[in-house]
Structure 1
């Protein structure tokens, strides 16, 4: 779902580089021996988070406000990572972490930044820090109940809100390579050339002619195509022989056919070409018109019910598993507003076919 933004990669390296130094700093401080492990753990994570934020300053130097915020945040984390014996350390840490999380959510909502793996990992790091900071230590009697309440209620709530904001933003504003949830597009040129337009038309004409006999689903069955789960308006019928043979965009041997599940039986919508391996995109003679797409991080139950994407924390709902599917290219022989080679068929088209 999320890639590592090139301008954020340096932050990841800075955080990893800070880990041994954070551990060494604790080892040489006598006071660290009298501090509970939860506090020391929070100290190490703060040092890593601080290094990540400082590492991002250089790649955001043209964004003055963002760079200054990274500087203040990074320095504050590093300072607090060493002030764990300070009387107000917990209060200061909770305030800083919470403000950082809320500020990041604001940046995402206002579209000042987009989520990526480094940002998501940093937010999870900060949520873990917050939990460690809030855990009461042995011998403390003040505010124990309020701290456990915060861990039991406030921390999970903040986690859900943070993850939800990141997830919703990514689904609502996908980047150029993500046409919709879970579909990663092949990189191509932006505008099709006349030659690519002609090649796309040729692919469409050849495919439409080759699969015409399969308008009768009995012919598709006889040719070896078998339907997948039919709990959606349309179903992919796959031909395992064609899949195993490794045909590459051969109109005579598409790996799959797509049928609308109508009251009068299956109605052919188009064909699907599929490569054999994940991340192996096929040829795109039509450039941006025939870009392949790959479904990744889809959560499925053993019964075939799809939960769509896993969350930004790389988890699927209980009872489901994460799968990714090799790149594919659809050719729609019905009038699809999204395009002849679009990732999906418009649901209104399928509904209209069912009602006709």
Structure 2
């Protein structure tokens, strides 16, 4: 699934820490005893959502507008979570949650942010809160039918729209500076040592030199490399003989090559080393610079079409199956914003090569 962006992790911690305080606030209020359980549940979830948003203010302090929006949203959620005895609480809650959902979707569509697990979890939390807010309480007669209608139609519709926008955006604009969706990174130290920097450079130089002949894709074909599905801007060419042989990070025998599918024909982007078994990470001479990654929950159709990842709700599209692949390490020989060992090649780089 989607990985947790480092600057969003603090929001998750803030949300978890807010839970006991939200429960305590309800316990200390005598008025809460006369309030339906669904309303109290909405209050707790709203407080957690508010804490998550406030937790993100500090890590986004350099983005003034974003930080202000997080602060405003967080305060609004927390304040509203304690006003559940007011008559206007329900419409105000519906308005705030709906505005927050559409505001976030607009943010990622405009490419101001990229979806990650914290964001997806928060949106699902808000959708659940919306459902709790809309549930008619016992004894209500006015608007009871309309609320059930909203609950049965609006909430599922908002869920589908939210999931679809997040998923399509991540597929259309993968971020090379973050781990690819569904990629589990090998644990490594935070900052590379001088020795690790030198080792990473050595691996890069040796690999770049070894795969130079494969700039001509005919040479790659002659060596036993075969392309996978070519319905994406770039394609992995795998050498099954090298895969079966079990070479470990051997620059002379990379298990895969990556080519850009351009109007000029295949253009070599880099090499890929792959281990034989899922969960078996390879040697990491460059520390954080050469961390391996393992793709999990990739959706494939019987026709070879790759959906790249599960939906944010952890399901594959109808007709496709869920697969995971052993750990791999890419070595990019073209200028890649994410670095020569990034999980992915930047789509802009591939597009530029195609247009050159």
Taking the aligned partners of 2:111 and 2:275, their CA distance within structure 1 comes to 35
- The alignment status of 1:75 with 2:69, answered yes or no, reads no
Q: Measure, in 1, the Cα distance between the counterparts of 2:229 and 2:167.
A: 28
Unaligned stretches of 5+ residues in structure 2? 259-267, 351-356
Q: Which residue of 2 aligns with 1:352?
A: none
Bigger radius of gyration: 1
1:89 alignment partner in structure 2: 89
Distance 1:303 1:197 in 2: 35
TM-score, normalised via structure 1 length: 0.69
Per-residue Cα deviation, 1:290-328 (whole angstroms, up to 9, x for no partner): 997643320246897754420123222356553321234
Are residue 199 (structure 1) and residue 206 (structure 2) matched?
A: yes
Is residue 56 of structure 1 aligned with residue 63 of structure 2? no
Q: How does 1:1-356 map onto structure 2 within 5 Å?
A: 1-177=1-177, 198-204=205-211, 215=222, 246-250=246-250, 273-276=273-276, 277-278=278-279, 280-281=281-282, 294-300=294-300, 306-317=306-317, 321-328=321-328
The Cα RMSD (Å) is 4.8
Higher relative contact order (CA 8 A, sep 6+): 2
Q: Deviations over 1:218-267 (max 9, x none)?
A: xx8xxxx9x99999999987859x75764314478766799xxxxxxxxx
Shift in alpha-carbon separation, 1:184–1:41, aligned structure 2, 3 A: closer
Alpha-carbon spacing, 1:43–1:293, altered in 2? closer, same or farther (3 Å): closer
Name the CA distance, whole Å, in 2 between partners of 1:194 and 1:310.
34
CA displacement at 1:143 relative to structure 2: 1.2
Partner SS state of residue 7, structure 1 = helix
Q: CA distance change for structure 1 residues 22 and 251 in 2, over 3 Å: closer, same or farther?
A: closer
Change (3 A) 1:244 1:126: same
Question: Is the 1:299–1:307 Cα contact (8 Å) retained in structure 2?
Answer: yes
Q: Which moved more, 1:317-326 or 1:78-87?
A: 317-326
Label 1:229 to 1:59 Cα distance change in 2 as closer, same or farther (>3 A).
closer
When residues 204 and 302 of structure 1 are mapped into structure 2, their CA distance, relative to the original with a 3 A threshold, is closer
- What's the TM-score, normalizing by structure 2? 0.69
Q: CA deviation at 1:274?
A: 1.8
Q: Is the 8 A contact 1:171 1:180 kept in 2?
A: no
- Conserved 8 A contact 1:275-1:281: yes
Q: Distance in 1 between matches of 2:179 and 2:125?
A: 29
The 8 Å contact of residues 178 and 185 in structure 1, kept in 2 or not, is answered as no
8 Å contact 1:32–1:40 — kept in the other structure?
yes
Q: Distance in 1 between matches of 2:82 and 2:220?
A: 73
Q: Is the 8 A contact 2:299 2:306 kept in 1?
A: yes
Aligned residues: 321
Go from structure 1 to structure 2 and tell me whether the alpha carbon gap of 1:71 and 1:305 turns closer, same or farther (over 3 Å shift): closer
Q: In structure 2, how many angstroms separate the alpha carbons of the residues matched to 1:198 and 1:228?
A: 25
User: 1:65/1:329 Cα in 2 relative to 1: closer, same or farther (>3 Å)?
Assistant: closer
Residues 33 and 184 (structure 1 numbering): CA distance in 2 closer, same or farther, change over 3 Å? closer
